[in-house]
Amino acid sequence: MPYTAVSSRVMYTLIRAFLVYVRPLLEFNSPIWSPHYKHDIELIERVQHRFAKRLPGYSNLTYKDRLALPNLPSLELRRLRLDLISCYKILCLTSINSSELFELRQSTTRGHPYKLFKSQCTSVVRSPFFTQRIINVWNDLPVNIVNFS
């Protein structure tokens, strides 16, 4: 397979090429597998870090500033967003039996009534897919976001 590169120096073209060709490869199957070791997260994030550093005029900025100017979220934040969307789809939109993956809390005193119960599982192998890593974030969402009606 021949190596091809984008030779444009136009910011919009470079960012669009990254979003179309590179980011889907980095986010592929992220609800099923998402790195939980800091080293693995840094390796994946380094791809976007190198891209942002090579944008014209961005080499002297910090990584957060480089992402803020073209309005790019970090890949870690994108993976979390995809996990939450997958959780919502399983709970509300699909015919998947959500009780096999999630257990709803019986009583909630604060927040939305769709809080998930987090079982005490220390083994990564036993936790089904993405459930253990998103339960805390899901339970902290405001009521107006988690509205199933």
User: What would the pLDDT profile of 35-52 be if each residue is shown by its tens digit?
Assistant: 778 898 888 889 988 988
pTM: 0.71
- Residues 92, 38 within the same domain: no
Q: CB 45: neighbour CB atoms within 10 A?
A: 16
- Residues 83, 65 within the same domain: no
Q: CB 52: neighbour CB atoms within 10 A?
A: 21
- Lowest-confidence range among 17-21, 31-35, 60-64? 31-35
Give a yes or no: residue 145 inside a domain.
no
b or e along 127-142 (b: 16 or more beta carbons within 10 Å of the residue's beta carbon)?
A: eebbbbebbeebbebe
Cα–Cα distance measured from residue 59 to residue 52, given in angstroms and rounded to the nearest whole number: 8
What band does 5 get if pLDDT is binned at 50, 70 and 90? low
- Full residue range of the structural domain in which residue 45 is found: 11-75
- Residues 66, 88 within the same domain: no
Give a yes or no: residue 35 inside a domain.
yes
Q: CB 115: neighbour CB atoms within 10 A?
A: 20
Of the residues 42, 57, 75, the one at which a domain ends: 75
Cα–Cα distance measured from residue 33 to residue 130, given in angstroms and rounded to the nearest whole number: 7
H or E segment to which residue 45 belongs:
helix 38-53
